């Protein structure tokens, strides 16, 4: 069960293809994010206008270390991923899991 969540809600730029964006996301995940300490999973949700990234990590310290380092040192993969996003639309939050029901 994930212990801590990085939550980011955003919109894509108008000219962006969802297929190209998801390809950039997969590459970023496979080559960078999935290798970070405490990483569990990354889910991307969409309602045709707003996207949500939910990255699960073992601890809040892992989440914050990932975010602090990645923000200060964006990789080429990260910059490519960000190029699809309408950055002013981003809303970032951190959550700790308190209770889980079901599987």
- The domain in which residue 14 lies consists of 4-96
Q: How many domains does the chain have?
A: 1
Integer angstrom CA distances of residue 44 from 9, 54, 56, 72: 10, 6, 12, 23
Give me the CATH number covering residue 85.
3.30.70.100
Q: For residue 81, what is the enclosing H or E element?
A: helix 76-82
Q: What is the pLDDT of residues 14-69, one digit of tens each?
A: 999 999 999 999 999 999 999 999 999 999 999 989 999 999 999 999 999 999 88
Integer angstrom CA distances of residue 95 from 28, 48, 88, 99: 22, 24, 21, 12
Q: What is the pLDDT of residues 55-95, one digit of tens each?
A: 999 999 999 999 988 888 899 999 999 999 999 999 999 99
Task: Establish if 101 belongs to a structural domain.
Answer: no
């Amino acid at each position: 069960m994930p212990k801590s969540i990085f939550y980011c809600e955003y919109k894509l730029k108008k000219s962006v293809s969802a297929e190209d964006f998801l390809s950039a996301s997969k590459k970023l995940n496979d080559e960078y994010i999935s290798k970070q300490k405490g990483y569990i999973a990354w889910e991307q949700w969409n309602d045709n206008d707003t996207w949500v990234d939910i990255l699960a990590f073992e601890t809040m310290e892992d989440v914050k270390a990932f975010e602090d380092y990645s923000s200060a040192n964006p990789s080429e993969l990260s910059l490519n991923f960000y190029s699809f996003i309408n950055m002013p639309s981003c809303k970032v939050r951190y959550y700790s899991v308190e209770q889980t029901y079901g599987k």
